[in-house]
Structure 1
């Protein structure tokens, strides 16, 4: 038997979620069974907990796009009972039952080993959001970003991806400017290492001209929409923007001028289908470059029963930092 947060859809299309106890034979197909210890709450989880957002194909469904735990049973030689593992992405929690349960059955190809010295709790305090933030930082570094080249902008900085990005970039020696629409969170962002905090309204106006003053040496953008269009025209020559989200909209109304006249790069960051080698590299960097004391400051603990309410809140931009889900609480 295992415990899970199960989302069901009734006849009129509305969904509801409840914590249920299920038999192990309800677990989906897979060659590895994991005893889940921790999961997290991400924007996609908010969608899967509510309307489904077009991500969930069949009901009943167990959300949770990431988890960390211990191998219970394995038909794959790479993993043995007792091994500690992490899962992020691969459409788990969307089309495959996910981490909002005390057990999960998955494909071994989707797992990575827990880095030495990291706990499963720390891994899920990082979660998909922190993993994505590190992928964005690595992409910016691969395209020339280095400490001392100028300010690095982080939009949506109080959210999960943004918070971790601020902490990592600051730890690496960058001068970080954090954008938020919640002025009361300035002390929180400064505690993560932001040198200055920029009100969202300063960058949310639509583009007025294709190029503005060269301001940013790099950018991690989780907002998209009009803010991303505006930021592209403010990047320094040859600088890059790592696009990780679309909280502000999926449309990008801009011109090719920043790309042609300033050599700006727009880097798309996908964490779902990322190859294994990239995943291992990113988790190794997280272990090295994310201050664990700052990580703990981002964490808001939660239980399975609290997730439906928190899922609705994250879709409204009302969740700060990282929600850490103890599935056994």
Structure 2
């Protein structure tokens, strides 16, 4: 009977959607860039203060130079296609942590006007040496160091040299080439170290086109902990977005709807013997599994799935038919 109960719970749609399921940890794949603003990461950051004039921040981070911009916004609305995974936008997520630390360092009075203090904090970030590139984001983008008011007061400003227009362009080009080569070399070295450390604990099985999967319920945090972890409506894998990239394009099963691009960590394979259950969920069965009827009376069980043989025998002995 224990084996029957185990098999029943493994094919119960409600049970499968409620449980976390086997751990999935796809390999880390880094995004390669060769120049500034080739790829820009964009994210909305909520400050958790809905009564503020600007409760959200639109964060933009250049993946090559690590140069960051932040714009206060009154709402967050965008029509985008994302892989829906934090590691797919790691540059913005990493800057978000630093950005929140910069804002939390403000006094209580200044925090009420944080949007007015934002430009100074961004300049301080872009003028600080980044651990990945070994240079400041400002230098990688513009080919020269930031000129700050403190440089004028201390007399440690840059040496002023007179150049013709052509001479200045040549010198500036050399500075940018040096900055790009150094940033690319340092970034690749850091990415390789991060990949080796992260991929030691990878646990993933590739998905094939046509395979049925459940999609993680991304609204669970807003609706409460009792909300199912997985969406009960299955999706079908159309294809892998790119070879060696753990991102898949999905389409809803049995309906015309736009495709979705989802990271492998947010997908759970649907058991093969759950085909009948998912059809019943879509309304293809007149009587859902788990409901027993006799002479107009209905007995509803806790899970709509196949009954174990032991339970079947119990109801048969009680002369309750399906």
Could you say which TM-score interval applies, normalised by the shorter chain? under 0.3
What TM-score do you get using the length of structure 2 for normalisation?
Answer: 0.22
Greater helix fraction, Structure 1 or Structure 2? 2
Indicate the structure whose relative CO is greater, using CA pairs within 8 Å and at least 6 residues apart: 2
Task: Name the one with the larger strand percent.
Answer: 1
Structure 1-normalised TM-score? 0.22
